[in-house]
Amino acid sequence: MSLVFIAACRLTLDVAALGAVRAKKQLLRRVVDRVKARFTVAVAELPEEGDRAAVGFAVLATSNSQAKEAMSRLLRFVEEMSVAPVTDVVTEITKFGDGGEDSGEHPGFAIPKGERTLAEAEGLGAWEHRPSAPQPTAPGRGQAQTPRPSAGGPPLSLEEARARARALRKPRDWEQPPPRRTTKDG
């Protein structure tokens, strides 16, 4: 398994001098758009109260130094934009993977003891205890059902069911004949 480094950053700007909420939103939009245009990075406006505005960034890298370098270039770019004073910067780099052979275990994604997976909650049971053959599902839940005529006769073929459905629906705009043009003679 190879290593992946995720660098995440929360940048807080002082926007007290702008006053209006609309001006603050425009400033944030400008920062987000310029960063997206310049870097391959995930960017989001973060909720902040009062005279502050916050922007979040996330970068993927293959090494710790590459993640640090990418984040420092991004922060330097935002500071050089001089749109508003930077009041706070919080950066975190997270490592995923162990760098060795794939052991089949994912320690970063383990489900805590006592918690259930979505499959267990839906009644499929734990992965280790599931049967190898697929279980039959109730009609209408994932399996195609053969359409039956309303009179209770034999099942319809697929083409018969399609023809019946076409006859029931309203014709679409392009299927309708063009409207007649009337002219007044006079």
pLDDT attached to residue 166: 75
For 4-96, CATH number out of 3.40.50.300, 3.30.70.1120, 3.10.450.50, 3.20.20.100 equals 3.30.70.1120
For the chain, the average pLDDT equals 74
User: Which of 183, 12, 169 shows the shortest CA–CA distance to 89?
Assistant: 12
Q: What is the pLDDT of residues 44-83, one digit of tens each?
A: 888 877 788 889 999 999 888 999 999 999 999 988 887 8
Q: What is the mean pLDDT of residues 154-177?
A: 75
The letter for the amino acid at 151 is: A
The pTM score is 0.50
